[in-house]
Amino acid sequence: MYMTNKFSIYIDGNGYGFGNIGDDAILQGIIKILKTLPSNPKITIAVKHGVKLPFLDPDIHVAESFNFEEAKRSIANSDCLLVGGGTMVGDELGLQFPLAYNIERILYSKKCSKRIVLFGIGANKLTTRNGKLLAKMMINHSGLITLRDLESLKVCKRLSTNQENIFQTADPAFLLEPKETGRSRGIKDIIRSKGKTIGINVVNEVWANKKEYKMAIATTCNTLAVEGYYPIFFSNEIRSGPFYDHEANKETASLLSCDYTILEPTYYSPEEMIDIISAFDMVLSMRMHGLIFASIARVPFATISRIDKVDNFMNQFGLKSSGTIDTTTSNRILEDTRVLIIERDNIIANLEKIVRQKNKDCWKNQQYFTSYIEGRQGQENISGRVRLFVDFIRYHLLTRI
């Protein structure tokens, strides 16, 4: 079927086009992979308001995210549901997204006998009973699962009844490169006009009421400013409101006694953002894709962990987070940022080596996807249909308000 007929893929699962540049970077990497498939598949993507993102080719179709009726039509007209990248297994932000959102689409795809792929995703340890039950359902109804790191692989294997369809690859965002535009050049000029700089991206989300980590970052900035490093705050998630980065940046910056700059929360394409980050001397980002962008740009980085995925990312580079939101101190952050200064050349050489390997590992997603699509898909037996029916009921019981 894959090689002889026009193959159609519907991509959903993550919040593309909502202002999270990291999520859009994952999508751009996925598209790069799918565009190399010999069948030249028809691709439809669920995007906010059904608006086409600027990096999507004209032949790519879009549907509206969070519109289940439109999702059902897209699934019915496709051969495969691809749940693309990001932390798709995790309950730290609640059950409705991404778990319930994705399971609703996965169960409907299974009902329609479609192929189901979790593509380059991340998996955090589940913290609630219902979260574990939903995650098991999600994993066990998927025909192929590729994970971005070893820890995510372990989480999914513990939840799976079929470990033969689970593989470790890499985050598709590692396929991106910095791309200079007039806009990014202008921001880089601002950054470089300040001399030596540290780029800072603070996160609020469900931790917005915690203040100690912001004070630790502020104290670090004040000390580094005395040592010649100018703090510039940037946002990888550009939506407005107390839940998002710009407000977290402002709250942290208000605690500084030194000069600083806060960049406006403007939407840049992922490759523009990588280009902007390349102008910093070092980066302190609480967003994982801010760290990925820094690594691609070969800029030394540090982080404060708010969630499993940040620690998992740092482990891949042989690094540790500067504590967690609850445990970090300015002394810990200063110690780690000073290492970035002293060991800069060695760190950049290590980034070069690891990012090149991550780029290669990204293409394993293509290999596993091709093998899965070209393989035979067995007919669902009666017990399988009963299990699907039972899971529909369990899904509604677990997610009802």
- Residue ranges per structural domain of the chain: 8-175+363-399, 182-358
Please check the confidence at residue 381 and state whether its pLDDT lies above 90: no
C-alpha span between 88 and 45 (Å, rounded): 16
Pairing relation of β-strands 61-64 and 42-47?
Answer: parallel
Are both 8-175+363-399 and 182-358 of the same fold?
yes
Evaluate whether the domain defined by 182-358 bears CATH number 3.40.50.2000: yes
Assign 229 a pLDDT band (cuts: 50, 70, 90): very high
| Mean pLDDT for all residues in the chain | 95
Condensed to tens digits (0 to 9), the pLDDT of residues 34-67 reads 999 988 999 999 999 999 999 999 999 999 999 9
Residues 6+ apart with CB under 8 A from 307: 87, 90, 92, 124
Per-residue pLDDT band for 5 (boundaries 50, 70, 90) equals: low
> Can you tell me the distance from the alpha carbon of 20 to that of 86, in angstroms, rounded to the nearest whole number?
11
Phi/psi at 46 (nearest 5 deg)?
Answer: -80, 120
**What pTM does this model have?**
0.96
3-state secondary structure of 159: helix
Q: By the 8 A CB rule, do 308 and 224 touch?
A: no
Question: What pLDDT sits at residue 3?
Answer: 45
Cis upstream peptide for 98 (omega within 30°): yes
Express each pLDDT in 290-330 by its tens digit. Answer: 999 999 999 999 999 998 999 999 999 999 999 999 999 99
Given a cut of 60, whether residue 1 has pLDDT beyond it is no
Instruction: Please give the full DSSP string across 115-143, using - where no structure is assigned.
Output: EEEEEEEEEPPP-SHHHHHHHHHHHHT-S
CATH number of the 8-175+363-399 domain: 3.40.50.11720
Which of these ranges, 5-9, 61-65, 112-116, has the smallest mean pLDDT? 5-9
